[in-house]
């Protein structure tokens, strides 16, 4: 926790999650978890069968979300989670993207 006058460190990462991650409610689970942690960003399915997400917010919350993605929802079978540094999104809140873009 920051002390009075300290600003929490903000972190943004783009994550590629591979394995059995589509058709198992991974995006809805990610949205729920990210919102509970107060993160901004988005999650989407990719044509190659992976899921991609952007998480932005307090560094500790982003780290918790990335760690949680290693397990995912009950029916997911995650084989890899690859985070890369990213720019913060230009929107507040967290959303599911369905456009594949």
Is 27 among the catalytic positions? yes
Structure confidence at residue 6 (pLDDT)? 64
* Domain extent listing, the chain: 10-96
Mean pLDDT of the region 76-95: 95
Q: Specify the fold of 10-96.
A: Alpha-Beta Plaits (3.30.70)
**Nearest-5° angle of CA 49, CA 95, CA 82?**
45
Mean pLDDT of the region 27-52: 98
**Nearest-5° angle of CA 82, CA 83, CA 86?**
145
Interval 45-75: pLDDT, tens? 999 999 999 999 999 999 999 999 999 999 9
Closest CA to 89 of 37, 9, 13, 26: 13
Mean model confidence pLDDT for the chain:
93
* Catalytically annotated residue among 40, 44, 45, 64: 45
Is there a contact between 43 and 52 (Cβ–Cβ < 8 Å)?
yes
Structure confidence at residue 50 (pLDDT)? 98
* Catalytically annotated residue among 27, 35, 77, 98: 27
- The structure's pTM equals 0.89
């Amino acid at each position: 926790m920051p002390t009075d006058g300290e600003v929490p460190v903000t972190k943004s990462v783009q994550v590629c999650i591979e394995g059995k991650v589509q058709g198992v409610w991974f995006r809805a689970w990610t949205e729920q978890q990210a919102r509970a942690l107060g993160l901004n960003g988005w999650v989407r399915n990719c044509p190659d069968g992976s899921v991609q997400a952007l998480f932005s917010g307090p560094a500790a919350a982003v780290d918790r979300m990335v760690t949680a993605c290693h397990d995912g929802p009950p029916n997911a079978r995650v084989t890899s989670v690859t985070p890369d540094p990213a720019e913060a999104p230009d929107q507040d809140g967290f959303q599911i993207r369905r456009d594949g873009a």
